[in-house]
Amino acid sequence: MNHWLLLPPLTFLVMLAFILALNYVLSLFALKVGPRTAESGTPYACGETAFDPMAQPDYSQFFPFAFFFTIAHVATMMLITVPMETFNILILALLYLFAVIVGLFTLLGG
């Protein structure tokens, strides 16, 4: 039994009115834009000026660990989803695991 309140155009109009009313109510709480000053257009980076940055992060130690976790998680997902129906599939999964271990040692050792 179809009800007239469930018609798509009427539902759209009701939701549109609700969203517009919610937008108006929440805009009352929004921060107001003040007058523009000379510093308004300059970039801000945690209290530092953009032309004299003090923080210079070094990601050289981050990437090997990011690759390690990516490879380890992909290998885990691959091994968990391998169906253990035959001995040949088990052998292929163990060869894959061996290749992943060799790759991880190469990544972290070299």
Residue 33, domain member (yes or no):
no
Domain count, the chain: 1
Residue 105, domain member (yes or no):
yes
**pTM of whole model > 0.85?**
no
Is the CA virtual torsion 82, 87, 90, 92 positive or negative? negative
The per-residue pLDDT string of the chain (110 residues; one tens digit each, 9 = 90 and over) reads 567 777 888 889 999 999 999 999 999 998 887 787 776 676 666 665 555 555 666 777 788 788 888 888 888 888 888 887 778 888 888 898 898 888 888 877 76
* Structural domain containing residue 65: 58-110
Give 53-95 as a 3 state SS string: CCCCCCCCCHHHHHHHHHHHHHHHHHHHCCCCCCHHHHHHHHH
